[in-house]
C-alpha cells in the first residue's frame, strides 16, 4: 500500500489519467491507481466510475471508496444516479462497506423500493453492518430497530438474491444484539422461516439462513 | 445464452399489477397481442399451476405474428413467450405441444421450445434434438443468410441435451463437434453440456478459459454455464472474473445447489466446502 498522500497534494494527474482512459483495461488500471492514492479528492471521480458499466473498474472504485471511509459518504450520497441501477448498486455497496450511519435512510429506501435487485441486495447486506459504536446506547438500539424492521420487510422480496442478502444482514445485526433483546427473537423468527421446513423456495437461501442460525447459536453458547 | 446482468420485471401493459384471473383473461382474448404476451410471461413468472393456464399456453404456441422491429416486438412473440412459460410450470402435459414447436420453421420458437423441454427433463426431446444437431457446426451451426442467427438455435439445443442427462456415447458424439464452433457462446454451451453429462474436468477447464475471454458477453455466458454444471473447482476463477457480481452470485448459487457430487439428487448439506462457497457469495453482495 502507498503511504497516505498529504491532503495538500490533490490527485489531479491521476484523475486526468482516468478521464483520458480510452479502453476498458485502461480505465480499470487508472481507477486502481486513483483508488490506491487514498485521497479524499478522488472520491467524486471514483463515484463517477461506478456509472461507466465496467465491472472491473467499479470493483476497484468501490474498494477505493470503502478505504476512504466516512470521507466518501457525502460524495456517494450527493451523486446517487437515479437513472442507472447498475451505478446505484455499486454506490450502495460502497456505503454498505463503509457502514456509516448517515447511509441508513438510503439503505432503508433502497431495500424497500429500488427496482434493481442488485441495489436491494447491497442494501440488505449494508443494513447488517452499520458501525454503531460511536453512538449512545439508546441511539444504537433505535438504529438497530430500524435496520431490523427494514430487513424483516425485505425477507418477503421476490428475488432469491435479495432474500439471501437479508439472511446475511440479519445474521450480522443479531450478532451485535443482546440475546435478551426482544428484537433478536423477531429476527431469529425470520431466519427460522427461511431455514425451516418447508423454508425458502431457493435451496441456497435455506442454507445461508441455516448457517446464520448456527453462528448465532454458537455465540449464545460462548 | 445471451445473458443480461440482471432481470428487471417488465411493467404490465395496463400499469397496475395483475392477478391470475386477469392474466388468464388477457391470454384468452386475441385482439390485443401485447396483453397476451405479458400474460404468458406473467403466468410463467408466477409458476401458475392452474390447468386452464397450461391449456391456454399450449394453444398460444400456434399463434403467429410478424416481427415489429420498431415496437420491439419479436416474431411470433406470444408463441415464444408461451413456450418459455411452459418450461417453468413443470407440467408434463405440455411436452407434446412443445415437441411440435420444436419442429416449427421459426428458429426462435424452436429455441424457446428446446430450452423448456430441457427444463422439463422431457426425454422424448432427445431424438429430435440430436437429429437437428447431427449435421454439426458446418450445417446446423452455420449462419443463416443475412442474419446473425444460426440454422439451428444451437446454444439452446446443446443446453437442453445437457439438462436431459442422457450420457450415451451417441449423444456425446452429437455434442462434441460443437466445442470447436467458431462462436465462443456455442463452445461454452457445448462444454457445459459435456461437463454436466460426463463430469470430465477437461470441459470445465475449457469453460474456465472462457472466463478470461475479452468479450464481457462471453464471460457472462461461461459463468452461467459453470453454474449450471455445478463444477466446484471453478469457485476461485469465478470470484476473479471481470463481470457483474449479480452473475457471479448466480453462478455460485449453481455451484452450491448443483455441485455436490457425493450428494447427487440430495439437498446440499452445510459442510466446510459449502460454507466456503457461501463466504465468497457473502463478499459479492
> Is residue A79 located within the same domain as residue A105?
no
Q: How far is CA B136 from CA B125, B150, B190, B200, in A?
A: 18, 12, 12, 22
What average pLDDT does the segment A175-204 reach?
88
Kindly list the residues from chain A whose CB atom is less than 8 angstroms away from the CB atom of residue B285: 93, 121-122, 124-125, 161, 164-165, 168
Partner A contacted by B8 (CB < 8 A): yes
Q: Give per-residue burial for B195-205: e unless 16+ CB within 10 Å, then b.
A: bbbeeeeebbe
Angle at A62 between CA A57 and CA A66, to 5 degrees: 150
Closest residue in chain B to residue A121, using alpha carbons only: B285
Q: In angstroms, how far is the first alpha carbon of chain A from the final one?
A: 37
Rounded Cα distance between B63 and B45, Å, is 20
pLDDT, mean over chain A: 90
Look at residue B260 in the predicted model and tell me its pLDDT: 65
Does the pLDDT at position A32 exceed 90?
yes
- Rounded to the nearest 5°, which phi and psi values hold at A169? -65, -45
User: Which of A56, A116, A124 is nearest residue B8 as measured by Cβ atoms?
Assistant: A116
pLDDT tens-digit series, residues A119-169: 999 999 999 999 999 999 999 999 999 999 999 999 999 999 999 999 999
End of a domain among A98, A120, A137? A98
What average pLDDT does the segment B233-262 reach?
90
Look at residue B13 in the predicted model and tell me its pLDDT: 47
Look at residue B265 in the predicted model and tell me its pLDDT: 54
Does the pLDDT at position A12 exceed 60?
yes
The better pLDDT of the pair B179, B269 is held by: B179
Does the pLDDT at position B165 exceed 80?
yes
What is the sign of the dihedral through the CA atoms of A113, A115, A120 and A123?
Answer: negative
Task: Say if the Cβ atoms of B245 and A118 lie within 8 Å.
Answer: yes
> Is residue A31 located within the same domain as residue A89?
yes
pLDDT tens-digit series, residues A80-92: 888 888 899 999 9
Partner A contacted by B284 (CB < 8 A): no
Does the pLDDT at position B7 exceed 90?
no
> Is residue A17 located within the same domain as residue A68?
yes
Kindly list the residues from chain B whose CB atom is less than 8 angstroms away from the CB atom of residue A55: 216, 242-245
Is-contact B157 B133, C-beta < 8 A?
Answer: yes
Question: Measured between CA atoms, how close is B62 to chain A, in angstroms?
Answer: 31
Closest residue in chain A to residue B252, using alpha carbons only: A204
Cell reading at A94: 460502497
Partner A contacted by B35 (CB < 8 A): no
Provide the 8-state DSSP code for B68. B
> Is residue A53 located within the same domain as residue A134?
no
Q: Which of A53, A122, A204 to mutate against chain B (most B CBs within 10 Å)?
A: A204
Task: Say if the Cβ atoms of B278 and A203 lie within 8 Å.
Answer: no
SS3 (DSSP) at B250:
helix
Q: Residue B223's closest CA among A159, A165, A55? A: A55
End of a domain among A49, A82, A98? A98
Closest residue in chain B to residue A94, using alpha carbons only: B285
CA B155 to chain centre: 9
> Is residue A110 located within the same domain as residue A209?
yes
Interface of B with A in 211-250 (CB under 8 A): 216, 242-246, 249-250
Does the pLDDT at position A4 exceed 70?
no
Q: Which helix (H) or strand (E) holds A85?
A: helix A85-98
Rounded Cα distance between B26 and B33, Å, is 9
Task: Say if the Cβ atoms of B256 and A203 lie within 8 Å.
Answer: yes
Report how many domains make up chain A: 2
Is-contact A141 A179, C-beta < 8 A?
Answer: no
End of a domain among A98, A130, A145? A98
Question: Measured between CA atoms, how close is A7 to chain B, in angstroms?
Answer: 31
> Is residue A151 located within the same domain as residue A68?
no
Task: Say if the Cβ atoms of A211 and B246 lie within 8 Å.
Answer: no
- Strand locations in A39-112, DSSP E? none
Look at residue B227 in the predicted model and tell me its pLDDT: 96
Rounded Cα distance between A14 and A45, Å, is 10
Does the pLDDT at position A172 exceed 60?
yes
pLDDT tens-digit series, residues A33-60: 999 988 999 999 999 999 998 888 999 9
| Percent of chain B whose predicted confidence (pLDDT) is above 70 | 91
User: Which of A56, A117, A203 is nearest residue B6 as measured by Cβ atoms?
Assistant: A117
User: Which of A93, A204, A210 is nearest residue B253 as measured by Cβ atoms?
Assistant: A204
> Is residue A90 located within the same domain as residue A119?
no
Is-contact B284 B249, C-beta < 8 A?
Answer: yes
Partner B contacted by A164 (CB < 8 A): yes
Task: Say if the Cβ atoms of B253 and A211 lie within 8 Å.
Answer: no
Q: Residues for chain A: how many in total? A: 222
Partner A contacted by B271 (CB < 8 A): no
Number of H helices, E strands in chain B: 15, 0
> Is residue A116 located within the same domain as residue A14?
no
Look at residue B66 in the predicted model and tell me its pLDDT: 77
Partner B contacted by A156 (CB < 8 A): no
Look at residue A74 in the predicted model and tell me its pLDDT: 94
> Is residue A153 located within the same domain as residue A165?
yes
Which residue segment(s) compose the domain that A124 sits in?
99-222
Split at pLDDT 50, 70, 90, the class of B88 is: very high
Is-contact B27 B215, C-beta < 8 A?
Answer: no
Q: Residue A163's closest CA among A125, A210, A216, A213? A: A125
Partner A contacted by B253 (CB < 8 A): yes
The better pLDDT of the pair A11, B167 is held by: B167
Cell reading at A177: 444484539
Kindly list the residues from chain A whose CB atom is less than 8 angstroms away from the CB atom of residue B274: 207
> Is residue A152 located within the same domain as residue A216?
yes
CATH number at residue A17: 1.25.10
> Is residue A4 located within the same domain as residue A77?
yes
Look at residue A76 in the predicted model and tell me its pLDDT: 94
Partner A contacted by B126 (CB < 8 A): no
> Is residue A65 located within the same domain as residue A103?
no
Cell reading at B239: 470470484
Question: Measured between CA atoms, how close is B257 to chain A, in angstroms?
Answer: 7
pLDDT tens-digit series, residues B10-65: 555 445 678 999 999 999 998 888 899 999 999 998 899 899 999 999 999 988 87
Does the pLDDT at position A8 exceed 80?
no
Number of H helices, E strands in chain A: 12, 0
Amino acid at each position: 500500500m502507498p503511504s497516505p498522500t498529504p491532503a495538500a497534494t490533490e490527485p489531479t494527474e491521476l484523475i486526468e489519467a482516468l478521464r483520458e482512459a480510452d479502453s476498458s483495461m485502461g480505465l480499470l488500471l487508472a481507477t486502481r491507481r486513483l483508488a490506491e492514492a487514498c485521497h479524499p479528492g478522488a472520491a467524486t471521480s471514483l463515484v463517477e466510475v461506478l456509472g461507466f458499466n465496467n465491472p472491473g473498474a467499479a470493483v476497484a472504485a468501490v474498494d477505493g471508496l470503502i478505504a476512504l471511509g466516512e470521507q466518501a459518504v457525502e460524495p456517494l450520497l450527493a451523486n446517487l444516479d437515479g437513472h442507472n441501477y447498475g451505478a446505484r448498486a455499486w454506490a450502495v455497496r460502497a456505503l454498505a462497506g463503509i457502514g456509516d450511519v448517515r447511509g441508513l435512510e438510503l439503505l432503508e429506501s433502497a431495500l424497500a423500493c429500488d427496482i434493481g435487485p442488485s441495489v436491494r441486495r447491497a442494501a440488505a447486506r449494508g443494513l447488517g453492518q452499520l458501525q454503531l459504536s460511536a453512538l449512545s446506547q439508546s441511539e444504537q438500539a433505535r438504529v438497530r430497530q430500524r435496520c431490523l424492521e427494514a430487513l424483516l420487510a425485505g425477507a418477503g422480496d421476490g428475488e432469491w438474491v435479495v432474500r439471501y442478502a437479508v439472511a446475511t444482514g440479519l445474521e450480522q445485526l443479531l450478532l451485535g444484539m443482546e440475546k435478551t433483546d426482544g428484537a433478536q427473537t423477531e429476527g431469529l423468527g425470520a431466519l427460522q422461516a427461511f431455514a425451516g421446513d418447508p423454508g425458502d423456495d431457493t435451496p441456497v437461501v435455506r442454507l445461508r439462513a441455516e448457517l446464520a442460525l448456527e453462528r448465532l447459536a454458537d455465540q449464545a453458547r460462548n | 445464452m445471451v445473458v443480461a446482468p440482471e432481470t428487471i420485471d417488465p411493467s404490465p401493459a395496463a400499469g397496475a399489477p395483475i392477478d391470475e384471473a386477469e392474466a388468464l383473461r388477457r391470454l384468452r382474448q386475441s385482439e390485443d397481442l401485447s396483453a397476451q404476451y405479458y400474460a404468458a410471461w406473467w403466468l410463467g413468472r408466477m409458476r401458475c399451476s392452474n390447468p386452464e393456464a397450461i391449456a391456454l399456453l399450449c394453444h398460444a404456441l400456434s399463434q403467429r405474428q410478424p416481427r415489429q422491429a420498431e415496437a420491439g416486438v419479436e416474431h411470433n412473440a406470444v408463441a415464444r413467450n408461451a413456450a418459455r412459460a411452459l418450461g417453468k410450470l413443470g407440467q408434463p402435459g405440455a411436452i407434446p405441444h412443445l415437441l411440435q414447436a420444436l419442429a416449427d420453421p421459426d428458429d426462435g420458437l424452436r429455441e424457446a421450445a428446446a430450452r423448456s423441454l430441457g427444463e422439463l427433463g422431457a426425454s422424448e426431446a432427445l431424438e429430435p434434438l440430436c437429429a437437428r444437431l447431427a449435421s454439426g457446426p458446418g450445417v446446423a451451426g452455420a449462419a443463416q443468410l443475412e442474419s446473425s442467427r444460426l440454422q439451428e438455435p444451437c446454444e439452446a439445443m446443446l443446453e437442453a441435451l445437457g439438462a436431459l442427462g442422457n450420457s450415451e456415447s451417441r449423444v456425446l458424439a452429437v455434442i462434441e463437434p460443437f466445442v470447436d464452433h467458431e462462436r465462443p457462446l456455442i463452445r461454452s454451451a457445448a462444454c457445459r453440456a459435456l461437463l454436466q453429462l460426463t463430469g470430465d474436468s477437461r470441459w470445465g477447464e475449457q469453460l474456465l478459459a472462457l472466463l478470461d475471454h475479452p468479450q464481457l458477453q462471453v464471460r457472462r455466458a461461461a459463468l452461467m454455464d459453470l453454474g449450471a454444471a455445478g463444477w466446484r473447482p471453478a469457485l476461485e476463477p469465478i470470484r476473479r472474473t471481470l463481470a457483474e457480481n449479480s452473475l457471479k452470485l448466480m453462478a455460485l448459487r449453481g455451484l452450491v445447489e448443483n455441485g455436490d457430487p457425493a450428494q447427487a439428487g440430495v439437498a446440499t448439506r452445510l459442510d466446510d466446502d459449502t460454507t466456503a462457497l457461501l463466504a465468497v457469495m457473502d463478499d459479492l453482495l
